[in-house]
Homo-oligomer: A and B are copies of this chain.
Amino acid sequence: MVDDAPSATGSRGGRADSSAPRRRTQRERRETTIKRLIDATIAAIAEVGYANTSLGVICERSGVSRGGLFRHFDSRLDLMVATAAEVGERHIAQIRRRLSELRDPALIDALRLMRDRHRARENVVWFELMVAARTDPDLRARLSETGRRFFAEVVEASRLVPGTELFPAEDLDMLVTTLEHTFDGEAIRREIAPDPVAEERRLNLAAEFAEFLLLRRISRTHPADR
């Protein structure tokens, strides 16, 4: 029994020992633990899938015990729902950030960005959760609220791409959703049957087609030559 260190009364006084586990508030403890749990859940779902992401692997990866987990989440489902919300937010944030980094992006750039984002961890996890929700009524019920908001935000974010202002909301919604499906499907299939040539062709043709739709809109809005 060493009972070392003068029991750390010195939170004040600026002790030089920086390696000692700094004192944290309850709120900090709580939040970092929750973050570690959700991060571990995201990583696990991306790597081994929703079904194989057991509480055991989550605890192992996060370094949090079962007791710690159940302090913050009442059930596995609750943790999964929180994870869904988190990946949704990150996905949107990433899209907005990268889109604004590109100044005045061409359609093809925006599409490529979208495709890349759909191959990224956040969206893969969201996809896994969606697929799991199809056959899990509880998850489906909880996810549908999150889902509708998420879907709407994706469309909203797409408004950052120049040219989209020409589309009425309903058209843009349908178009963006279709692209999401396309890139989701591509991301899955390339795990089994990769086809980089077709991927590139698909991207280019999607851009051309979108361009075509835009031009058509313009010529209808301004029936120029007559």
Residue total for A at the interface (Cβ-Cβ under 8 A): 50
Residues of B within 8 A of A131 (CB): 49, 127-128, 131, 188
A47 at the interface (CB under 8 A from B): yes
In the assembly, how many copies of this chain are there? 2
Interface of A is mostly: helix
Among A163-191, those with CB < 8 Å from B are 170-171, 173-175, 177-178, 180-186, 188-189, 191
Residue in B closest to A181 when the chains form the complex, CB atoms:
B185
Residues of B within 8 A of A202 (CB): 174, 177-178
A135 at the interface (CB under 8 A from B): yes
Q: Given contacts A178-B182, A180-B185, is CB(A208)–CB(B216) below 8 Å?
A: yes
Q: Complex formed: what's the CA distance from A56 to B178 in Å?
A: 38
CB distance from A166 to the nearest CB of B (A): 16
Q: Residues on A close to B: CB < 8 A?
A: 47-52, 127-128, 130-136, 140, 143-144, 147-148, 151, 170-171, 173-175, 177-178, 180-186, 188-189, 191-193, 197-198, 201-202, 205, 208-209, 212-213, 216
